Amino acid sequence: MSAIDDLAERFQASVTATGSRFAAVVSSPVAFVLSEQGKVRYASRSKLLKDAPAWIPPRLDIPEGSLSKKVRAGLTAERRDLVDADLWFSEWERGGTLVEEVRHLPRWDQTLSLLWFEDGDVPAQKFRDERGTVYEEEENENDALLKELDGNLRWPGKHRRR
């Protein structure tokens, strides 16, 4: 949040707008959530979280057990805590621990939450086979390469380009 505060001051923008843009353009897995009156109003996610997909539905009540809920209720003075990722992300089965940093603005009953993975990486996708064995997604270095030639030439259609 201090980086967002610095950027907001430097560019004379609101903390809310700056946090939203920060999450959208940063290269690490980050989400910025604006909640009003105890419900998620808007969530901005980085490309890595969008691709995961880590979805935070609008109009969702601030999750029970989250630091945001505790800070809004005035139960704690802590501003940073660790929470399970499935607490915030809808239908999340990858596991992982998020760092949750929170600021509550009582004048407008708004809660600003900055979420990121503790280790800086989105956890690997987990799969379950027909026997019920759980295994993680394996990164394949060949995924980014061109497809192997199969000997069949693909000819363009009958329409010619001009």
pLDDT single digits (tens) 120-130 = 888 887 656 66
Tell me the whole-structure pTM to 2 decimals. Answer: 0.76
Q: Contact, 112 vs 15, CB < 8 A?
A: yes
The rounded mean pLDDT for the chain is 85
**Does any domain span residue 77?**
yes
The domain that holds 63 is classified in CATH as 3.30.450
Distance CA 30, CA 72 (A): 21
**Does any domain span residue 26?**
yes
Question: Which residues span the domain enclosing 37?
Answer: 2-126
Tokens matching residue 53: 């997909």
**Number of domains the chain is built from:** 1
**Does any domain span residue 89?**
yes
**Does any domain span residue 132?**
no
Q: What's the pLDDT tens digit per position in 117-155?
A: 988 888 887 656 666 665 555 544 555 567 777 777 776
**Does any domain span residue 143?**
no
Residue 78 CB contacts under 8 Å (≥ 6 apart), including other chains: 67, 70, 71
φ, ψ at 72 (rounded to 5°): -60, -40
Residue 120 corresponds to which amino acid?
G
Scan for tokens 């560019």, then name that residue.
11
